[in-house]
Amino acid sequence: MAELAAPELLSEIEAAVYEWTVSSDTLTWFPKPPPALSGRDLSSGQAWAASTDPDAMTSRHTAIFGSTARDEGEGVAYELEYPVRIDGRDGPRHVWIEDVGHWYAGADGLPARARGMIRVVTGRHEAEQRLAIQTRFDPLTGTLNRLKLLDVLESMLADGKRYRTSCSFLLLAVENIGALNEAYGDTTPDEIIAGVAKRLRSRMRTGDALGRFSTTIFGLALANCGLTELGVAARRFMDAVHEEPIETSAGPVGVRVTGAGIVGPRHAQSQVEMVARVSETLAEARRKRRGAFMPFAPSQARDDRRRRYVQLADELMAALNTNKVSLVFQPVVRARDGAVIWHEALARLEVAGDQASLSAHIEAAEKLGLVHLLDRRVLDLVVAALEANPHAVIAVNVSADTAVDPEWRDRVLHLLKVKPAIAGRLHVEITETAALGDFEETTEFVKTLREAGVQVAIDDFGAGQTSFRTLRGLGVDLVKIDGAFVRGLANSTEDRAFVRAIVELAREIGFETVAESVETEEIAKVLTELGASYLQGDFYGSPGPLLATG
């Protein structure tokens, strides 16, 4: 490539060098101003100043004459970015300029001349603006993202403490998005979420802030809002959603939201505390009465439960920090011949010298946002077990939070890359709760793992509302039938009919099935007759520290 001469190089990067003589107000250019600035007289400092957008926060003139620095003989540097206004046939437009140079003082110490270079950076500026918007706003709804919303809430709470006023935080959960996805298609839920955001925005007061708290939950930070006002506001926002169907490309869709709210600093002294308490209240509202509003109210039972969660979380963190989390393994056998095909890894915690199940600790960790730490440790232990047992196949459970945690996913992919021999021997089980949560994220999670050679199963199927259409959309390999339906097979015709329906539908769609909690030979025989692919339970082996063979 031929070398570019200086004028050609400057032209190619949309730049130009200038010298400004203050006494004569002469502005000299080399070689000439960039084409983006053509059509204006830019031969004087006054003309350049007139071109600078009057609403700009800074300009070359203010950078030079507003400087408090002194020229000690080498000039005073300046570097700034500002818009130049260009009038065109379609109206005024802005050209963003990067202006870098030095000004030099005369005998009186005042600026006498300036030399520098300008460069057109409109594209970069617009890209930075887009990025800034993306870091503050949710792209689907145009509302604040979670982090920015919580920043606003924190500021409101601080003002409430300072001026002895109240602020509130309201959460509104859009219900049955999974069912709507099945009924109307993949794009309709996004249209519904965007439509709900529009309805909520229409009922906001000046000073309120609306944000997307999670995939299907909106948050509203409400200034100067006490307990009485919170109930009125909740009804106003919920009525906006409920009063008529939301129009979508698939037609009008009726939408319900469940709400919960809290007043600060009356019921919470920090933003973190407000979020934790209102999230817990929302979960309770969704359990008891979907489509209704529940305000946070102090509760001794809830406080006791929260203290218990903290105690359990402390025990868990202590165990993680001292390597006192271990694994036991339960075999999964092929129904037709009882051959051990793989093992499920179950975590155990050493407390006061005894091994204990982690079920209570997992619930506390999920409530307090710590479960991802446990899942990462268990993954490391499972990988170590796979390396120590070259012929073993091991399944590991992950929580709903971990199923949408990109760091855990990246960790798995990295381990499979550096240890390729374990890829086909690692299974991952996600709960039905995860499948019903963030469907898009969970689908991507399943797809990524399967592409890496990992089999994925839905655990405890039947305990929730997941349909086979949802499972087909997720693309899992296996369905694990919830043990609550298996334990009663011998005596319950309803359970037997339910399990038969799962097995037959799974076979038709192409899934294999695993029946959990197989505790007797009679139940094992019934499941085999019904066509279950695999069986797991104490009848074939209780969880133990060694990998069984057979």
Rounded-to-integer distance, Cα 66 and Cα 235, Å: 54
Query: The tokens 């007797």 sit on which residue?
Result: 520
- Residue 453 included in any domain: yes
- Residue 312 included in any domain: no
Same domain, 178 and 291: yes
Same domain, 365 and 274: no
The radius of gyration of the chain from alpha carbons, rounded to an integer in Å, stands at 32
DSSP for 454-478, please give it.
-EEEEEEETSS---HHHHHHHT-SE
Contacts of residue 394, defined as CB under 8 A and 6 or more positions apart, other chains included, come to 329, 342, 343, 344, 345, 382, 385, 386, 425, 426, 427, 547
Query: The tokens 């996600």 sit on which residue?
Result: 430
> Which contiguous run of DSSP H or E holds residue 36?
none
Rounded-to-integer distance, Cα 269 and Cα 263, Å: 10
Domain end point (choices 298, 315, 348): 298
Domain end point (choices 129, 148, 181): 129
* Average pLDDT of the residues in 424-446: 78
Contact call for residues 146 and 219 (beta carbons, < 8 A): yes
Query: The tokens 């809002």 sit on which residue?
Result: 225
Rounded-to-integer distance, Cα 210 and Cα 150, Å: 10
pLDDT at 110 over 60: yes
Same domain, 371 and 395: yes
Contacts of residue 168, defined as CB under 8 A and 6 or more positions apart, other chains included, come to 221, 222, 225, 226, 229, 230, 233, 261, 262, 263, 264
pLDDT at residue 174 in the model:
93
Same domain, 35 and 123: yes
- CATH at 273: 3.30.70.270
Which amino acid does the sequence have at 317? M
pLDDT at residue 475 in the model:
81
* Average pLDDT of the residues in 371-382: 89
Judged on CB neighbours under 10 Å (0-12, 13-18, 19+), 300 is exposed
Same domain, 237 and 337: no
* Average pLDDT of the residues in 271-298: 90
Domain end point (choices 80, 109, 129): 129
Residues of the chain with pLDDT > 70: what percent? 89
Q: Report the phi/psi class of residue 543: left, alpha or beta, with left for phi > 0 and alpha for psi in -120 to 50.
A: beta
pLDDT at residue 132 in the model:
54
Same domain, 81 and 211: no
- Residue 123 included in any domain: yes
pLDDT at residue 195 in the model:
94
Query: The tokens 């086979």 sit on which residue?
Result: 468
pLDDT digits (tens, 9 = 90+) for 510-534: 889 999 999 999 999 999 999 999 9
- Residue 69 included in any domain: yes
Contact call for residues 172 and 278 (beta carbons, < 8 A): no
Contact call for residues 51 and 85 (beta carbons, < 8 A): yes
Judged on CB neighbours under 10 Å (0-12, 13-18, 19+), 521 is exposed
- Residue 310 included in any domain: no
Q: How many domains does the chain have?
A: 3
- Residue 545 included in any domain: no
Q: Residue 37 is encoded by which pair of tokens?
A: 């600035």
Same domain, 253 and 384: no
pLDDT at 365 over 80: no
Q: Residue 297 is encoded by which pair of tokens?
A: 């109210």
- Residue 59 included in any domain: yes
* Average pLDDT of the residues in 449-465: 81
Same domain, 226 and 358: no
Rounded-to-integer distance, Cα 256 and Cα 189, Å: 13
Same domain, 151 and 277: yes
Residues of the chain with pLDDT > 90: what percent? 41
- CATH at 421: 3.20.20.450
At residue 449's C-alpha, the angle toward residues 446 and 452, to 5°, is 145
Rounded-to-integer distance, Cα 288 and Cα 292, Å: 9
Contact call for residues 16 and 5 (beta carbons, < 8 A): no
pLDDT at 428 over 70: yes
Same domain, 162 and 244: yes
- Residue 319 included in any domain: no
Lowest mean pLDDT among 189-198, 229-238, 310-319: 310-319
Which amino acid does the sequence have at 349? L
Same domain, 384 and 499: yes
Count CB-CB contacts under 10 A for residue 416.
19
- CATH at 76: 3.30.450.20
Instruction: List the helix and strand counts (H, then E) for the chain.
Output: 20, 21
Domain that holds residue 504: 325-536
Q: How far is CA 468 from CA 186, 333, 435, in A?
A: 16, 24, 11
pLDDT at residue 320 in the model:
84
pLDDT mean across residues, the chain: 86
Nearest to 221 by CA among 166, 277, 258, 295: 166
Same domain, 156 and 88: no
Q: Residue 398 is encoded by which pair of tokens?
A: 């992950």
Q: Residue 147 is encoded by which pair of tokens?
A: 């982090």
Residue 415 backbone phi and psi in degrees, to 5: -65, -40
Work out the pLDDT band at 1, boundaries 50, 70, 90: very low
pLDDT digits (tens, 9 = 90+) for 285-301: 998 888 999 999 988 88
